[in-house]
């Protein structure tokens, strides 16, 4: 991968995670950028370093989830490497993570998704506290479609829209066996 290609990929992911109108999957990672503008950047050496990252897609996804406006120079700090490592662990053990996250939910399954008087539902509170992963939110939304209910019922104009955008933007990158996850939910709650 060339430094220019790494730059293009970085911009595509940054746009994907920060702009509602841009979808990296839909546009196949294409962004309007040219080599002349790249050559004038004072930080282009950073993209040379970035081009050497082996799993660049997952590295960028994990760090853009943490901070969608992350500067390329920050990506070489230890914190970003740790974010990537934790991301890989969750993805590689997705079924295990999902099962453990379900154990943290209320025994009354439906109550986990119900906002009461515009306040956050228990599932969203657990996510905000770091008790439940974003992947679990995505899997449960895929199975139940609860985000539509939350859009109507949660009155907060700041937190919920930010979490919802994370769910929508990250969802195309989370692959899982829907039938298997549904069986896990059923075995836990039925």
C-alpha 8/C-alpha 11 separation (Å) is 5
112 and 65, same structural domain? no
CATH code (residue 42): 1.10.8.60
CATH code (residue 135): 1.10.220.50
129 and 177, same structural domain? yes
pLDDT at 163: 95
164 and 133, same structural domain? yes
Q: Which residues of the chain have pLDDT under 50?
A: none
Helices 78-92, 56-66: axis angle to 10 degrees equals 110
Total number of domains in the chain: 2
| Cβ 167 vs Cβ 141: under 8 Å | yes
Count of C-beta atoms within a 10 Å radius of residue 14: 20
* Domain boundary, last residue among 91, 117, 152: 91
Q: Which domain holds residue 108?
A: 93-189
* Domain boundary, last residue among 62, 91, 120: 91
| Cβ 35 vs Cβ 4: under 8 Å | yes
Structure tokens at 153: 């019922």
Which residue, 133, 141, 145, 146, is CA-closest to 104?
A: 133
10 and 30, same structural domain? yes
pLDDT at 115: 87
C-alpha 69/C-alpha 25 separation (Å) is 19
pTM strictly above 0.85: yes
Structure tokens at 182: 């549904």
pLDDT at 185: 95
148 and 175, same structural domain? yes
C-alpha 26/C-alpha 168 separation (Å) is 13
Cβ burial, residue 149 (10 Å; 0-12/13-18/19+):
middle
| Cβ 60 vs Cβ 34: under 8 Å | no
Which residue, 123, 152, 153, 157, is CA-closest to 138?
A: 123
pLDDT tens, residue by residue, 38-48: 999 999 999 99
105 and 83, same structural domain? no
C-alpha 20/C-alpha 23 separation (Å) is 8
Residue 92, classed as helix, strand or coil, is helix
42 and 108, same structural domain? no
* Domain boundary, last residue among 57, 91, 125: 91
């Amino acid at each position: 991968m060339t430094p220019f290609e790494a730059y293009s990929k970085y911009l595509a992911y940054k746009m994907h995670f920060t702009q509602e109108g841009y979808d990296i999957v839909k546009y196949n990672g294409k962004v309007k950028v040219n080599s002349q503008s790249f050559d004038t950047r004072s930080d282009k050496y950073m993209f040379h370093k970035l081009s050497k990252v082996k799993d660049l897609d997952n590295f960028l996804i994990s760090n853009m989830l943490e901070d969608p406006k992350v500067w390329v120079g920050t990506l070489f700090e230890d914190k970003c490497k740790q974010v990537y490592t934790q991301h890989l662990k969750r993805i590689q053990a997705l079924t295990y993570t999902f099962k453990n996250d379900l154990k943290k939910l209320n025994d009354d399954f439906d109550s986990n998704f119900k906002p009461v008087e515009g306040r956050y539902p228990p599932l969203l509170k657990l996510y905000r506290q770091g008790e439940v992963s974003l992947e679990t939110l995505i899997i449960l939304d895929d199975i139940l479609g609860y985000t539509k209910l939350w859009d109507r019922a949660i009155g907060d104009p700041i937190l919920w829209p930010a979490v919802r955008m994370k769910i929508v933007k990250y969802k195309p990158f989370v692959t899982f066996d829907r039938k298997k996850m549904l069986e896990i939910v059923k075995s836990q709650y039925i």
